[in-house]
Amino acid sequence: MKLLTRLVFVFFITTAAHAQFDERFYFPVKEWKSLDGVTHEEVTLPHDSVSLSAIFLKPAGKPKGTILFLHGAGGNVTSYCIYHEAAGGTWLPGIHDRFPRLW
């Protein structure tokens, strides 16, 4: 019984170690689909040292309003989920040390 337990333990350790070195574990191969036929808008926000790029996909149906809510590290974003449900879309970027004086 001890031998079986040790073999199972070694098997799991070996499998876990092999998965950590397998590049497909963290970076799976995906084919990018083109945005042909999808209405979208590309937006770039330039700054002195950083340029933020984004793509907004526009739905085919009746457009809903989108709330742009910029929060710092101290706010509670979960209290604003009611706005997301009512408006249909909310963009919640976090402003912190990676982008100093961005806004």
pTM for the whole structure: 0.25
pLDDT in tens, 47-72: 777 777 777 776 666 766 766 666 55
Q: Is 11 in contact with 4 (CB distance < 8 Å)?
A: no
Which residues touch 21 (CB under 8 Å, ≥6 apart)? none
100 vs 57, more confident: 57
